[in-house]
Structure 1
């Protein structure tokens, strides 16, 4: 009891920073009605509460979960779209309290005090920065943690044969990314031996640099294709950088591969990049655009040809199952295996493939969980037939 009061006093004593407009998270959650069925959302600039509409009972109390997030607004909603239906109508009733983890020392100390206050049964780290923060500052604490981040087995040193670090007993991990070697296998089956690849990423997104960009450097050195890098500096400068640099990159790839049939632009999971997909497609100059994020493939004509990766919605579903397992188990969270979604999720846009004269292997079409037809309409979603709006004009 004394420790709980001490944590609460520390939380109250640390002054709340003045919230700048970019840190106002009150509008970050925008979910379809079906996802929100059975949930109540209350939002302020500092935090978002998502609680069950049905009141608790003596036999079924709400288990409180603190969510520290650093992911962008769009990916947050996709994760929640997968997470909330799994958490709904379960024998374990869950309430979520979402806070944005800032970069300032005082704000981070305030979040650490909140995590250590004893009022939460579980903490979810949503994004690589939040995972790194809790891994460094909250490892082996009594409160369990479920962390969603890109390739935790790589940058946390868990992969087989690497210098092993002991996983904190209180942490379980779900990966938001796919093995780059698997992605390259699919790319080579689609386009043949690669000659040139431009990886487009956000330099400010540390996990993207460490995991995705670095992986492409390794693969290009191993497999002999020419790697070009196009880095933006966050969302604010992405539009100008991409408009200026994309045509130059396309010309450089044409010099290596004049027909452009063995080259591509690779869109990473940086939100500053995939949010600019329409611009990337417009300036690609006939060179295919593919990516590791499902949301790069979309209705209409401005779309990637294909995505090969882990959809945020599926990661949300898996993380919800991990949350329920941790809340219902007395075993340490570290006993759960690394959460990896396999086989990879494919989303395919037939219209873009036809326009670029790309021949799709038949088993790609069989495996694809999302499929857009020759009119650019969504006809398969999550492996099931989809009802789509009328096709957009070319």
Structure 2
């Protein structure tokens, strides 16, 4: 006969094993939730000193993917408007854009609060946000980035709340809107980060009238960049009889290794075709995988001018593009903020607003780099440039204002 003591010890052992298993499960669940929270964390979204004077931001203590931004001064008359801002990933561009959005709303004294949520490319999370937005009392939805814009075009077209898109690739080329001159005809007002290719080419041929060869730098797996920048540019070059040499990367993680191999090969090819390199340039798309490695691109360009579609590629010092012809993220966000105000304050139908494109495009110049390359910058470029770095590589003009 088994004694009570033996039974007790067996039961105690079973309880300990169960407790350890339960603890392990809880730890695993905690790690999983922490990883998910980390992926969607939005604490990277910080604000400028000027915005801190007018706005208060607070992370949701239960959900690190949510950031609430409220006005410090609520004395303004009128209704408080609630705006949902959807971002799909961590991005410095979204930080710039959100700061500009707040500046515009403050300048216009339009009483609003913003809830910014990072969905971390999770379509299910995004669709649930859209589904719940109206009953949670939001008045307008703001998307930042091409992925968030694609989400609303796919799942929220003709939805109950107005939408404004910002920091996204060309909605016309992507087939989201039929024409630059017409609105979407839906609840979505769109903007674009892309300069129409014919306008870019006018600037490009003014910069280098004898252009014959171009090295085209891009991430071949960035579908939006390929569709809105790479394919239109290549087609336009081929129509002009200009040879295009692709320099591609697969991802941001592989970019440096692939650029270290691909760029010297492209430079060698250009050198054999154009020994003086006077009829050649590098066209750098807005692919983050390329843009984030501008230092390497500059070092390996071997005297070939770099022209970018992103004004932020022109920066202080020598590790810079010589020229950029594009749209600054902050100016795009400013235009999108104006669209949001027209909808909320003036009652404009979002579907009637034509695609918001900043015109003329933002021109950025680095005269230190241009001089060292022997690149002659047309006076018309300087005349209309928004951002200029001088002969010592220092910033001398910002947003069209001389410093």
Same fold, TM exceeding 0.5? yes
- 1:5 maps to none
Question: What are the within-5 Å matches in structure 2 for residues 149-168 of structure 1?
Answer: 149-156=168-175, 158-160=177-179, 167-168=184-185
Q: Distance in 1 between matches of 2:123 and 2:321?
A: 39
- 1:308 maps to 325
Q: Secondary structure at the match of 2:343?
A: helix
Q: Say if 2:56 is the partner of 1:40.
A: yes
Q: Distance in 1 between matches of 2:329 and 2:293?
A: 18
Q: Say if 2:226 is the partner of 1:212.
A: no
Q: Distance in 2 between matches of 1:358 and 1:298?
A: 17
When residues 365 and 71 of structure 1 are mapped into structure 2, their CA distance, relative to the original with a 3 A threshold, is farther
In the alignment, is the contact (CA less than 8 A) between 1:101 and 1:111 conserved in 2? no
* Structure 1 gap ranges (5+): 1-15, 387-394
Aligned residues: 368
CA offsets, 1:293-312, max 9 Å, x none? 11100011110001101111
Q: TM-score, normalised by structure 1?
A: 0.87
Structure whose CA Rg is larger: 2
Moved more, 91-100 or 126-135: 91-100
Q: Distance in 1 between matches of 2:240 and 2:297?
A: 25
Q: Say if 2:304 is the partner of 1:293.
A: no
CA offsets, 1:114-163, max 9 Å, x none? 3353421100111111111101100111100001222112222645599x
Q: Secondary structure at the match of 2:315?
A: coil
In the alignment, is the contact (CA less than 8 A) between 1:82 and 1:315 conserved in 2? no
When residues 130 and 322 of structure 1 are mapped into structure 2, their CA distance, relative to the original with a 3 A threshold, is same
CA offsets, 1:299-356, max 9 Å, x none? 1111000110111111111111111111113342111222111111111000100000
Q: Which of 76, 79, 94 is the matching residue for 1:61?
A: 79
Q: Distance in 2 between matches of 1:141 and 1:160?
A: 21
- 2:43 maps to 27
When residues 297 and 82 of structure 1 are mapped into structure 2, their CA distance, relative to the original with a 3 A threshold, is same
Question: What are the within-5 Å matches in structure 2 for residues 138-149 of structure 1?
Answer: 138-148=156-166, 149=168
Q: Say if 2:192 is the partner of 1:180.
A: no
Q: Distance in 1 between matches of 2:274 and 2:346?
A: 55
- 2:361 maps to 344
- 1:330 maps to 347
Q: TM-score, normalised by structure 2?
A: 0.85
Q: Say if 2:92 is the partner of 1:74.
A: yes
When residues 326 and 364 of structure 1 are mapped into structure 2, their CA distance, relative to the original with a 3 A threshold, is same
Q: Distance in 2 between matches of 1:22 and 1:352?
A: 40
- 1:93 maps to 111
* Structure 2 gap ranges (5+): 1-31
- 2:398 maps to 381
